[in-house]
């Protein structure tokens, strides 16, 4: 088994969108099912803003990028947009590794996305447990094994986020996944510190747990996690890198101080469904519009206010725009 290359701070990159232009309703306008009016315009990916976010987080000290995870709104990004985003991330990343989210509830579809990510230059894959289907442990193992067989040698981070998938990747099921050579780590977003501890205790040598929640990074690292895949690092990469670095070095006092400074931003980032608040934060920094793709709705005014206040207190960004 090859040791995991993904330690330290990863950032779950958001996908900036441009504000859509709505077409006037006429007979040529596509209608929703049932003929009840025109389809809503879809906001287009803003590759220029995305590139600026990549530059921002790399300059802030992140160790690797994660494109098209939950924060990247992967569920509503098209195949063409996926390819453009991955290639832009790879182009700008230089020596910084790029992990691409390829999770889907269909195993064949996941394998197709894995092949496309590899061909676009990905250094690793983030594979969420299949959602909606609620497979048994044997089905989860077979899912990951088939992805690994499709892209042999490509490092895979298993992604456990039961709040979104409806299924928890337990310690015993993870033990089955550790037998797959390509599975090098698990991003653990259950929010259950007991489970995180057990996963850390039972991870094979060279394999490890990655914290998936910003506010649990310090306790997760304290019990053995080897880093964090962060949402907050989209807007505050340097302070988040300082927190993770101190925690990994065992400097608990410094890590606690960094955590205290980041706590208001962490709270603001999850005041609404991720990535709604982080989009507001990126817009405040001049990276995109704050637009999210339906069925998500843009951030409420209270969320904008909380995000802007937290960024101002951290002194992130030269100017903070007003909510729009």
Q: How many CB atoms lie within 10 A of CB 21?
A: 8
The active-site residue, picked from 52, 132, 134, 159, is 159
SS (H, E, C) 72-110: CCHHHCCHHHHHHHHHHHHHHHCCCCEEEECCCCCHHHH
Are the CB atoms for 280 and 290 separated by under 8 Å?
yes
| Helix (H/G/I), strand (E/B), else coil: 126 | strand
Nearby residues of 81 by Cβ (< 8 Å), 6 or more positions away: 15, 45
Under a CB-based contact definition with an 8 Å cutoff, are residues 183 and 148 in contact? Answer: yes
Residue 95: φ, ψ to 5°: -85, -5
Distance CA 269, CA 303 (A): 8
To the query of whether residue 134 is one of the catalytic residues in this protein, the response is no
Q: Quick one: which of 74, 84, 134 has its CA closest to 110?
A: 74
Whether residue 159 lies in the annotated active site? yes
**Which residue in 252, 227, 253 sits closest to 241, CA to CA?**
227
Hey, is 227 helix, strand or coil? strand
Look up residue 95 and give its two tokens: 């020596």
Q: Tokens 């706590």 correspond to what residue?
A: 263
Catalytic-labelled residue, pool 52, 64, 187, 279:
187
Residue with tokens 């991330």: 89
Q: Say how far apart CA 203 and CA 210 lie, in whole Å.
A: 11
Q: Are 158 and 147 in contact (CB under 8 A)?
A: no
Which residues form the catalytic set?
Answer: 159, 187
């Amino acid at each position: 088994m090859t040791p995991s290359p993904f330690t330290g701070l990863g950032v779950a990159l958001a996908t900036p969108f441009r504000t859509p232009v709505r077409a006037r309703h006429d007979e040529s306008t596509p209608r929703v099912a049932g003929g009840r009016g025109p389809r809503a315009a879809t906001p287009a990916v803003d590759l220029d803003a995305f590139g600026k976010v990549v530059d921002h987080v790399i300059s802030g000290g992140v160790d690797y990028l994660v494109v098209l995870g939950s924060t990247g709104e992967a569920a509503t990004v098209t195949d063409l947009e996926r390819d453009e985003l991955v290639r832009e991330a790879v182009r700008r990343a230089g020596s910084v590794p790029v992990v691409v989210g390829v999770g889907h509830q269909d195993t064949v579809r996941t394998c197709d996305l894995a092949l496309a990510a590899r061909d676009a230059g990905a250094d690793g894959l983030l594979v969420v447990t299949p959602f909606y289907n609620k497979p048994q442990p044997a089905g989860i193992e077979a899912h990951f094994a088939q992805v690994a067989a499709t892209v042999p040698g490509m490092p895979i981070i298993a992604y456990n986020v039961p709040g979104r998938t409806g299924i928890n990747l337990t310690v015993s099921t993870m033990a089955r996944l550790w037998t797959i050579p390509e599975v090098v780590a698990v991003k653990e977003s259950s929010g259950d510190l007991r489970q995180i501890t057990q996963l850390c205790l039972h991870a094979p040598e060279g394999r490890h747990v990655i914290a998936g929640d910003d506010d649990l990074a310090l306790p997760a690292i304290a019990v053995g996690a080897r880093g964090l895949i962060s949402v907050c690092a989209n807007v505050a990469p340097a302070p988040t890198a300082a927190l993770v670095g101190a925690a990994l070095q065992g400097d608990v006092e410094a890590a606690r101080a960094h955590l205290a400074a980041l706590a208001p931003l962490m709270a603001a980032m999850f005041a609404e469904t991720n990535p709604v608040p982080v989009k507001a934060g990126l817009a405040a920094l001049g990276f995109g519009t704050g637009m999210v793709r339906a069925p998500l709705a843009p951030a409420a005014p209270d969320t904008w206010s909380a995000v802007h206040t937290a960024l101002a207190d951290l002194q992130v960004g030269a100017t903070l725009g007003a909510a729009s």
